[in-house]
Amino acid sequence: MAIVINGTNYPLPDDPRVSLLDFLRERLGLTGTKLGCNQGGCGACTVILDGTRVLSCLTLAVQADGRDVLTIEGLASDQSGLHPLQQAFIDHDGLQCGYCTPGQICSAVAMIGELRRGDPSYVTADLVEGPKGGLRQEIRERMSGNLCRCGAHNGIVAAIEQMLNGEAP
């Protein structure tokens, strides 16, 4: 009974009511994952579970038993370094207060995978042909679960677009 978080094993919490979000923030002190609404509405708590983005506030910690969780703290290959998307967020000023930012970045990293895999979305015109990756509308639709109240949307989309047009992460 353990969760693998950023490559390290952690025993499950004793209280089954504990969400993955509270487990990360309150039990393990991994506060990079943010609590925005605790009810699935804002995306601030997004983490990557076995390669797929999930809302950690709507995921019980016990559901992650035996699975791999990647959080913002584990994105960069080394502690002080930055993942290329983190750097792109800085370059395009895809943040202001920075509170939605870890969720945006985790969400985008997994979303790029969905796009490359050819998962269709609401703005995909031709479902047979699949999405034409790199389109801003495509990014916007796929990132709409991550709210930003400061209004850093343009920079966020630009950063993700750069990432999509550049080398694979």
Partner 1 sequence: MSKLQNAIVGGVRTAMGYVPGNWLPGGTPDPLIERRVTLGTQQSRVDGPDKVRGAAHFAAEVPMEGLLYAACVHSTIPRGRITELDVAAAETAPGVALVMTHRNAPKMAVPPPIGLTNLKAAGNNILPVMQDAEIRWNGQTVAVVLAETQEQADLAASLIKVGYEAAVARTRFEKAKADARTPDSLMIEKNRLKKGDVAVALQAAARSVDAIYRTPWHNHTPIEPNAATIAWKGDRLTVHDATQMLNGTAGSLAKVFGIKESQVYVSSPFVGGGFGGKALWDHQILGAAAAKLAGRPVRIALSRASMVRLIGGRSPTEQRVALAAAADGRLKGLLHHGFSVKPPHSACDEAFTLTSRSLYASESFDVVQHTIDLDVLANTFMRAPGEAPGTFALESAMDELAHELGMDPIELRRRNVPDRNPVSGAPHSQSDVMLAYDLGAKRFGWDRRAAAPRSRREGEWLIGMGCATGSFPYARMPGMTVRITLDGSGHATVSSAAHEMGMGTATVQRQHTADRLGLPLESVTVTIGDTSLPFGSFAGGSSQTASLGAAINAASGKLAVELLRLAGNDTPLAGLRPAEIEFVNGGLRKIGEPSRYESFVSILKRAARDQISVTGVSSAPLEMLKFSMHSRSAIFCELLVSDVTGEVRVDRLVGCFDCGRILNPKTAASQFRGGMIMGIGMALTEEALFDERTGRVMSASIADYHVPAHLDVPDIDILWTDIPDPRTPMGARGIGEIGITGVAAAIANAAFNATGKRVRELPLTPDKFLFA
- Which residues are paired to 8 by β-bridges? 5
- Identity of the amino acid at 32: G
- Quick check: helix, strand or coil at residue 100? coil
**CA–CA distances in Å: residue 43 to residues 12, 14, 39, 149, 167:** 23, 26, 9, 12, 26
Q: Which of 63, 67, 73, 135 binds partner 1 (CB under 8 A)?
A: 73
Least separation in angstroms between residue 123's CB and partner 1 is: 8
Residue 32 found at the interface with partner 1 (CB under 8 A):
yes
How many Å apart are CA 38 and CA 33, to the nearest integer? 12
How many Å apart are CA 37 and CA 146, to the nearest integer? 11
Q: Which does 140 bind (CB under 5 to 8 A by kind): ligand FES, partner 1, none?
A: partner 1
Residue 98 found at the interface with ligand FES (CB under 6 A):
yes
Could you tell me if 103 and 35 are in contact, meaning their C-beta atoms sit under 8 angstroms apart? no
Least separation in angstroms between residue 125's CB and ligand FES is: 29
Binding site for partner 1 (CB under 8 A): 15, 17-18, 22, 25-26, 29, 31-42, 44, 71-73, 76, 82, 86-87, 89-91, 93, 95-102, 105, 123, 136-137, 139-141, 143-157
Summarize as ranges the residues that interact with ligand FES (CB under 6 A): 35-38, 40-45, 55, 57, 95-101, 148-150, 152
